[in-house]
Amino acid sequence: MIFRRDDLVKIGVISDSHGNLTNLQDAVCKLDQLGVDAIFHLGDYVRDAKKIHVWFNRTIYSVKGNCDQGSSDGLNYAKISFDNKIVYATHGHLFNVKNDLDALFYEASLKKANVVLFGHTHHKLLEKKNGILLMNPGSLMGGRYSENPSYGIITINNNSVNGELFELS
């Protein structure tokens, strides 16, 4: 699916909600206020992504995380084109992202992705490597197993791709 608004596409990115529906709702409402066109939920718990429709009436993509094994909801990855840019999304556990990003970066290169979205580590990351923007929005769960609850936005404007990370306050 391709979105177009004066050559600007804004994509909300959330991950690792782990059933924290209060933080999920807060993040989704903030993303809605910021005018995102779509939201990616990057797994753990993919069933939380179904609740996003209550607060957000645009497109939602969801992928499964390691805590979603056996769930019929979500896919292991998504490859979506937005304004001629390829976004590749996965939870990250299948690529061993807690050790390094090499396998994920290699897969993204094979998929000809401009943007790679992943979670699993519960730690925020935003970096560009060989022209590919990698984003881990961190975790919405918060608490002792992660940094402060956080989310991200990818902006595609004409031919440029940028990302921003935000903490829930």
Name the pTM for this structure.
0.94
What pLDDT, on a 0 to 100 scale, did the predictor assign at position 145?
Answer: 66
Q: What is the pLDDT of residues 109-142, one digit of tens each?
A: 999 999 999 999 999 999 999 999 999 999 998 7
Q: How far apart are the first and last CA of the chain?
A: 32
Tens digit of each residue's pLDDT (9 = 90 or more) over 59-90:
999 999 999 988 888 889 999 999 899 999 99
Q: In the 8-state DSSP scheme, what is residue 119?
A: -
Residue 22, helix vs strand vs coil: helix
Joined together, the tokens standing for residue 100 give 């390094």
Domains in the chain, CATH or no CATH each: 8-167 (3.60.21.10)
158 φ, ψ (degrees, to nearest 5): 55, -110
